[in-house]
Amino acid sequence: MIIKLIKRIREVLQLNASAKQLEKDHLMALLIEHINDNWHGNQVLAAMSDEFKLEHFEALFQSLEDIRSDEQPLARLRERIVSYTGMYAENIVLVASEEEKELMFFSKSPKISCSLYKHLSDAEAKNLTNELEKWHFNYPAGTLEGARHCCSFMATLANFHMLAYDIIRIHLQDANLINPSKDWRTPYRIVMLELAEYEHRKKLGLKQICGALDLLHFHVFTKFVLSEQEPLMRYEEYLNSLDNEL
């Protein structure tokens, strides 16, 4: 698959470089290693067809070329991170159970219930994500577990891309390696999960566990990710300024 992948990368990107030259590209090599570790090592993704795999691998490497050739590579990268973080968030909050939450990176967030999976067979569930809408259309008599599997697959796929963009982010020195606890990636993911919980509850007609002001905070963090060099620092400054006004 790797030889086939490298050949397809060259074709799609119209590169003149040889396979050996591609392998010497440090970032490219890291992404190929990521594919081996996190795609072929994952039973759900490994079971997909070669065509499906190549489609996503090609998209990833085309995205890498787009980022590298952009006048503002970090801005382009951040856009991809926001997109796939949103895709991951809207699905993982529909999959994780209360018991699983204790093992997750968002375990301390009271705004993520990990109970939404119980509502995947509700009539309104088809409106939660695009993939769920397709699933409910194709399987009108489908089970709750089937819908949950659909969301789980999308979360796994999004996580693959999120991790890939994190590799690129570190390579482009957009990660806080001095104090990883102050890196913006994990706090932003948690906020996006909280936003997804809010949006899903709204569509399902469930009681909210966070308020309208929280919704504003969620969108402000995304704004900072897309516009600020240090989004977490700016976000914490923003929250502190609100506290000082009270």
For the ranges 12-26, 112-126, 142-156, the lowest mean pLDDT is seen at 12-26
CA 85 – CA 82 distance, rounded (Å)? 5
pLDDT tier at 160, thresholds 50, 70, 90: very high
- CB burial of 199-223 (b: ≥16 within 10 Å; e: otherwise) equals bbbeebebeebbeeeebebbebbbe
Which candidate, 38, 82, 14, places its Cα nearest to that of 223? 82
**Identity (one letter) of the amino acid at 69?**
S
* 66-107 confidence digits (pLDDT tens): 999 999 999 999 999 999 999 999 999 999 999 999 999 999
pLDDT at 246: 57
Write the CB contacts of 202 (distance below 8 Å, at least 6 apart in sequence). 208
pLDDT at 174: 94
- pLDDT over 70 (residue 221): yes
Q: What is the mean pLDDT of residues 4-19?
A: 57
Please tell me whether residue 128 adopts helix, strand or coil conformation.
coil
CA 155 – CA 152 distance, rounded (Å)? 5
CA 69 – CA 198 distance, rounded (Å)? 37
Q: What is the mean pLDDT of residues 207-228?
A: 93
With contact defined as beta carbons under 8 Å apart, do 70 and 76 qualify? yes
CA 163 – CA 186 distance, rounded (Å)? 12
pLDDT tier at 6, thresholds 50, 70, 90: low
Tell me which of 51 and 96 has the higher pLDDT.
96
Write the CB contacts of 3 (distance below 8 Å, at least 6 apart in sequence). 19
Please tell me whether residue 230 adopts helix, strand or coil conformation.
coil
pLDDT at 33: 87
A 10 A CB-CB count for 74 gives 15
CA 174 – CA 167 distance, rounded (Å)? 10
Average pLDDT over the chain, rounded to an integer = 89
For the ranges 29-38, 86-95, 195-204, the lowest mean pLDDT is seen at 29-38
Considering the entire predicted model, what is its pTM? 0.90
Q: What is the mean pLDDT of residues 143-155?
A: 94
Q: Which two tokens stand for residue 174?
A: 């957009």
Tell me which of 79 and 41 has the higher pLDDT.
79
* 117-131 confidence digits (pLDDT tens): 999 988 899 999 999
Query: Which sign does the torsion angle of CA 39, 225, 216, 233 carry?
Result: positive
pLDDT tier at 29, thresholds 50, 70, 90: confident
Q: What is the mean pLDDT of residues 26-41?
A: 85
Please tell me whether residue 86 adopts helix, strand or coil conformation.
helix
- pLDDT over 70 (residue 17): no
What are the backbone dihedrals phi and psi of residue 228, each rounded to the nearest 5 degrees, phi first? -110, 145
Q: Give the CB-side neighbour count of residue 7, counting CA atoms within 13 A.
A: 4
pLDDT at 149: 94
Looking at the chain, how many residues does it have? 246
